[in-house]
Structure 1
Amino acid sequence: MKTDFNDKQIQILQVAEALFAEKGFDGTSIRDIAKEAKINIAMISYYFGSKEQLLESLIVYRASDIKLQLDNLILEDLNPIEKINKLIALYISRINSNRCIYKILHFEFSSKKRDLNLEAFTELKKGNLKSLETIIKEGQEKGIFKKDIIVPLITPTILGTYFHFHMNRPFYENLLHLNTEEKYNTYIKTTLTMHIQQTIKALLTYES
């Protein structure tokens, strides 16, 4: 499956993403997407084939965005801890601003109603893991990070904290007085992100 899309394809993917998140995959028709995107149905079929293939492309489109930024992060002149902190901030920022796709993914993966071809998505996730491994290996070689790190569990630790917070949004809004969308998003960008960074740093580094 291709991982690069033209402007028209991106427009269709963004419209589909919003509709899938609002109405569900099964509740959204190709006709709905075409109407909202102000295009004809034939164009969607031309670009993506079926609705299932459109969903597969949407997942890859969002994953490709993070992969590119992680590739650039590896090349930055930062120490390993700064790179890990930036990686965490990147993950949380991208997920929080693209909640729609993760809502769709959660439903699709938990319901298993469709046999989606997610080979390209899996390859992108492997690439993301490789970027994380590169940063951690650099930190280990410099004596900053511990040797017994289970690298594949770092990402679920980062994402699990965010998703627990977001899935319990009403509780935390009341507890932390986050009574506006701006306050809620600012808290995620600052306090929650910093908490996750401190947690991961504690997992990776030697006790002082």
Structure 2
Amino acid sequence: MEKEKIDKKDHILDVAERIFSDLGFDGASTRTISGEAGVNMAMLNYYFGSKEGLFLAVFERKISSFQTLLQNIGNDESMTSWDKLAMCIDKYVDRIIVNNCFQKLINREVSMSKRGGLNDKITEILMVNVIEIKKILDDGVRNGSFYNDIDTELAIATIFGTKNYIINTPNISSLILGHDVRDEKFLEEKLKPRIKVYMKKLLKAYLVNENDNNK
């Protein structure tokens, strides 16, 4: 019975993510979401309380699962600091390319300034993964794997900002890259591995102590 409840909640969240990404917070209604999810309004309200509660639950589900993945990587004592960061980059790029719906939702809502309270909650949720990356960078500085004068904040901005520029400015990015970045086959087969290689080469040259560069 408990599994059935979890499956039902996940189904509602899947539908809500799609509708919110297409229509935005203001354009979507809980009645539309409940109708497409095949549940009644009472059930939706029981699980999530309100449209805002449902909206935040969509974010929390996506972010918390990735946070757990990052924490597991960060806590793996068998890996070097650089190997941890390289794996985080691989996992991050894999997730952002296959989750266009969620990325569209983030881009739409974080750029909105009229809902201060809601945006503050979204930002707080998104920051948990930033904090996990920062822990890995800070550990690398402490154990000598990374230079002690690195700009941690700008390194983090590089990791997340590269994706943001490509996704948020598709017309310009398509011209720069010579291919439509909205082409899902291109994203999966060409751009994903290209971003991984670029970000790891760039960050390794900047972060890794020259005594460890050949490792």
TM-score interval, normalised by the smaller of the two chains:
0.7 to 0.9
Which letter does structure 2 place at the counterpart of 1:194?
Answer: V
Which structure's residues are more often helix, by fraction? Answer: 2
- Quote how far apart the aligned CAs of 1:158 are: 0.9
Encode CA deviations 1:130-153: one digit per residue, 9 max, x unaligned: 432332233234422011223233
Which letter does structure 2 place at the counterpart of 1:89?
Answer: D
Which letter does structure 1 place at the counterpart of 2:167?
Answer: H
* In 1: Cα distance, 2:139 partner to 2:109 partner: 36
Alignment counterpart, residue 197 of structure 1, candidates 195, 200, 206: 200
Q: For structure 2, which runs of at least 5 residues remain unmatched after alignment?
A: none
Confirm or deny: 8 A CA contact 2:70 2:88 kept in the other structure. Answer: yes
Runs of 4+ residues deviating >6 angstroms: none
Alignment counterpart, residue 116 of structure 1, candidates 112, 115, 118: 118
* In 2: Cα distance, 1:198 partner to 1:129 partner: 20
In structure 2, the residue matched to 1:131 is: 132
Segment drifting more, 73-82 vs 136-145: 136-145
Confirm or deny: 8 A CA contact 1:173 1:184 kept in the other structure. Answer: no
TM-score normalised by the chain length of structure 2: 0.81
Question: Within 5 Å, which residues of 2 pair with 1:1-208?
Answer: 6-76=6-76, 77-114=78-115, 115-116=117-118, 119=121, 122=124, 125-126=127-128, 128-173=129-174, 175-177=177-179, 180-207=183-210
Aligned length: 203
1:116 counterpart SS class: helix
Q: For structure 1, which runs of at least 5 residues remain unmatched after alignment?
A: none
Change (3 A) 1:124 1:158: closer
Which letter does structure 2 place at the counterpart of 1:204?
Answer: L
Encode CA deviations 1:73-110: one digit per residue, 9 max, x unaligned: 12332211111111111122222222222322332232
